[in-house]
């Protein structure tokens, strides 16, 4: 089958790294630390993928502005204590390397900070396989299309031949806003019902399925 895509843009948390549970727990602990009731797992998962400040504002819109820095500090305290131990999903290390060696350009668009992504790339060993990356503290947060459009521009890619792979509605809406195709994964933060309305080419239940789909169709 002729190759359809040249540039594959991956989300990080919940797509390549199995971090959604740790993010949810860190949000809940941070809220408790500053005297707020812990939000539900579902509510906490819904804001994964956004930049941290935007995510907390979406989750807790009535929180006084002066309390957000304190909440961010407590979130980082809980998350950073565990992030080095968060595993990649099964199949990711070899799959990403194989996709790179097959001739795809690979990139990352993430709600993580630049420092957080660099730490994750180094700890995971995946850094060498990605040609470019964008983080929420460098440009507009998802679902704004800026991350995708900037990566396309940096890598001189064709939007028609660009595919976004992500686990949240924010990822898929970012792709739609940028005018590029998307592939949804159901093993991360959001449910299939959250992803389906954004018209991904397919929904995958594991990274192995993502890898197989890309090899067969991309």
Q: What is the set of active-site residues?
A: 11, 13
Show the beta-strand stretches assigned E in the chain: 7-10, 105-110, 132-135, 162-166, 181-185, 203-204
Do residues 95 and 207 lie in contact, with contact meaning Cβ atoms separated by under 8 Å? Answer: yes
Do residues 33 and 74 lie in contact, with contact meaning Cβ atoms separated by under 8 Å? Answer: yes
Distance CA 6, CA 99 (A): 11
Distances (CA, A) of 199 to 49, 159, 168, 184, 217: 18, 17, 12, 9, 17
Do residues 70 and 55 lie in contact, with contact meaning Cβ atoms separated by under 8 Å? Answer: no
Burial degree of 61 (CB within 10 A; 0-12, 13-18, 19+):
exposed
Q: What are phi and psi of 142, to 5 degrees?
A: -60, 150
Do residues 59 and 43 lie in contact, with contact meaning Cβ atoms separated by under 8 Å? Answer: yes
Distance CA 25, CA 38 (A): 9
């Amino acid at each position: 089958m002729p190759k359809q895509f040249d540039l594959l843009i991956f989300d990080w948390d919940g797509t390549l790294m199995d971090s959604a549970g740790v993010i949810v727990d860190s949000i809940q602990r941070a809220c408790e630390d500053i005297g707020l009731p812990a939000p539900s797992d579902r509510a906490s998962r819904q804001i994964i993928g956004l930049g941290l400040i935007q995510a907390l504002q979406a989750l807790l819109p009535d929180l006084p502005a002066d309390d957000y820095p304190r909440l961010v500090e407590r979130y980082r305290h809980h998350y950073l204590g565990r992030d080095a131990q968060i595993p990649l999903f099964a199949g990711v290390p070899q799959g990403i390397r194989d996709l790179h060696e097959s001739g795809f350009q690979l990139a990352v668009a993430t709600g993580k900070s630049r420092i957080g992504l660099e730490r994750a790339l180094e700890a995971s060993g995946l850094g060498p396989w990605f040609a470019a990356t964008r983080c929420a503290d460098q440009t507009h947060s998802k679902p704004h299309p800026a991350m995708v459009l900037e990566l396309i521009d940096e890598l001189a890619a064709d939007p028609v031949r660009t595919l976004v792979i992500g686990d949240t509605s924010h990822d898929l809406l970012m792709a739609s806003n940028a005018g590029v195709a998307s592939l949804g994964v159901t093993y991360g933060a959001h449910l299939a019902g959250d992803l389906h309305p954004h018209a991904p080419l397919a929904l995958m239940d594991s990274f192995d399925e993502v890898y197989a789909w890309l090899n067969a169709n991309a």
